């Protein structure tokens, strides 16, 4: 009885704000199908975003911008109730155009109850691998608990694309129960399946996750190693430290950068010397990731000399990362290096240098703050004036 009332209420709400009808779905899917692939991907990215904020109360609308289409647009981010519209979307999961399949999956996955979920469940059982893969993607967006067992089954799909997408979809649920299955998948022959498993393991908080991810740091696939490093960073488990330190020597720059970033997430100060050395990496991404990571280490009081030196780098982004990290470390030995940055041509860096100097409790900072008080930028003068007040 109660359920009937609830459903009636839902129906009433849906009546006020109906999902798209079949004509609307047709128009939309046809339009993206005919569009340039780049346009289609951009639309696919936007599906499910809350568009209404655009031009609120007419602000930001170009002159003569008619808003008649708003109602139909808004209908698109509600799950369709119209059976005909649902059939159109189900067919969309089998579209030859992957972008259209992706859009159909996202539209179907906009709710975790209702008739859309049933369409996804049916899709997972489709004879077509293309449909099963798209349905798994829809299931990821839906996050409907009722789809969990179907997704687990799909991880055993003979088609690796389906198995990978199913493993990826389970990551959205972040359930420790899946660690075992994911650990098995880390030994899958297909790299894309192992990547999905590594990614999903990184989402789950469980003590069994780090031991499952560590071996993946030596995977032959670069993407798997990157995702394993990222996942280990998310675990915040001290046991992840040494394997990640080892990954700083990976042949791939992407892996080294991911390992540096992950070490920053671990926040263990013991990583400081290795991260300091990583500032000398030949790849700029690794250098910046290492500098940023050093700023995240918990209770680090002494900045590695490489970080202090990086404050004088010609790479603007590295300077910025270094000065911000030094601001978190508050090491008096960095005073002069930070002081030199007060002459930087980039106002953001000068500002960050003042902020960093302000946090160091040492009398040698004062002359630099006095100098910053004469900066050409008022915000920097202001920060210096405020910081000098702390140096009574």
Contacting positions for another protein (CB under 8 A):
277, 279-282, 287, 305-306, 308-310, 312-315, 319, 335-336, 339-345, 362-364, 366-371, 373-376, 378-379, 381-392
Residue whose C-alpha is closest to residue 236's, from 210, 201, 275: 210
CA distance 360 to 69: 57
Residue whose C-alpha is closest to residue 182's, from 129, 220, 169: 169
CA distance 111 to 343: 55
Q: Which is nearer to another protein, 45 or 315 (by Cβ)? A: 315
CA distance 244 to 219: 14
- Least CB distance to another protein at residue 390 (A): 8
- Least CB distance to another protein at residue 317 (A): 12
- Least CB distance to another protein at residue 320 (A): 13
Q: Which is nearer to another protein, 232 or 342 (by Cβ)? A: 342
- Least CB distance to another protein at residue 361 (A): 12
Q: Which is nearer to another protein, 237 or 319 (by Cβ)? A: 319
- Least CB distance to another protein at residue 319 (A): 8
Residue 313 CB partners (closer than 8 Å, separation 6+):
319, 322
CA distance 317 to 326: 14
- 113: which 2 tokens? 């109850």
Contact by Cβ (8 Å): 344, 354: no
Q: Which is nearer to another protein, 194 or 350 (by Cβ)? A: 350
Contact by Cβ (8 Å): 108, 87: no
- Least CB distance to another protein at residue 242 (A): 21
Residue 10 CB partners (closer than 8 Å, separation 6+):
none
What would the DSSP string read from start to end of 263-303? HHHHT-GGGHHHHHHHTT-SSHHHHHHHHHHHHHSTT--S-
Contact by Cβ (8 Å): 304, 279: yes
Q: Which is nearer to another protein, 38 or 251 (by Cβ)? A: 251
Residue 265 CB partners (closer than 8 Å, separation 6+):
233, 234, 236, 296
- Least CB distance to another protein at residue 377 (A): 9
Contact by Cβ (8 Å): 193, 185: yes
CA distance 234 to 44: 28
Q: Which is nearer to another protein, 58 or 389 (by Cβ)? A: 389
Q: Which is nearer to another protein, 125 or 316 (by Cβ)? A: 316
Q: Which is nearer to another protein, 162 or 288 (by Cβ)? A: 288
- Least CB distance to another protein at residue 194 (A): 32
């Amino acid at each position: 009885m109660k359920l009937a009332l609830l459903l009636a209420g839902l129906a009433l709400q849906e009546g006020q704000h109906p999902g798209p009808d079949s004509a609307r779905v047709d128009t939309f899917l046809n339009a993206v199908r005919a569009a340039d692939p780049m346009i289609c991907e951009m639309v696919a990215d936007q599906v499910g975003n809350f568009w209404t904020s655009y031009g609120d109360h007419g602000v930001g609308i170009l002159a003569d911008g008619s808003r008649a289409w708003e109602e139909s647009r808004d209908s698109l981010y509600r799950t369709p109730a119209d059976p005909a519209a649902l059939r159109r979307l189900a067919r969309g999961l089998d579209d030859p155009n992957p972008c259209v399949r992706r859009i159909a999956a996202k539209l179907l996955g906009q709710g975790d109850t209702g008739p859309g979920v049933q369409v996804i469940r049916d899709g997972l059982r489709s004879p077509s691998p293309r449909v099963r893969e798209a349905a798994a993607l829809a299931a990821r967006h839906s996050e409907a608990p009722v789809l969990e067992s179907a997704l687990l089954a799909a991880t055993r799909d003979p088609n690796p694309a389906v198995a990978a997408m199913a493993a990826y979809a389970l990551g959205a649920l972040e359930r420790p129960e899946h660690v075992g299955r994911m650990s098995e998948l880390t030994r899958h022959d297909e790299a894309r399946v192992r990547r999905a498993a590594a990614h999903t393991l990184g989402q789950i908080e469980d003590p069994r996750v780090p031991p499952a991810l560590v071996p993946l740091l030596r995977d032959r696939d670069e993407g798997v190693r990157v995702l394993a490093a990222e996942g280990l960073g998310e675990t915040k488990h001290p046991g992840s430290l040494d394997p990640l330190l080892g990954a700083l020597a990976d042949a791939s720059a992407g892996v080294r950068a991911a390992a540096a970033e992950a070490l920053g997430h671990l926040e263990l100060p013991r990583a400081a010397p290795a991260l300091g050395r990583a500032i000398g990496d030949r790849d700029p991404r690794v250098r910046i990731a290492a500098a940023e990571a050093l700023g995240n280490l918990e209770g680090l009081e002494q900045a590695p000399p490489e970080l202090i030196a990086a404050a004088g780098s010609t790479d603007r982004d590295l300077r910025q990362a270094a000065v911000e990290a030094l601001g978190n470390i508050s090491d008096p030995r960095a005073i002069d290096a930070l002081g030199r940055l007060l002459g930087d041509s980039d106002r953001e860096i000068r500002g960050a240098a003042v902020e960093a100097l302000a946090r160091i409790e040492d009398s040698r900072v004062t002359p630099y703050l006095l100098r910053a008080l004469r900066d050409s930028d008022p915000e920097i003068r202001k920060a210096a004036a405020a910081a000098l007040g702390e140096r009574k």
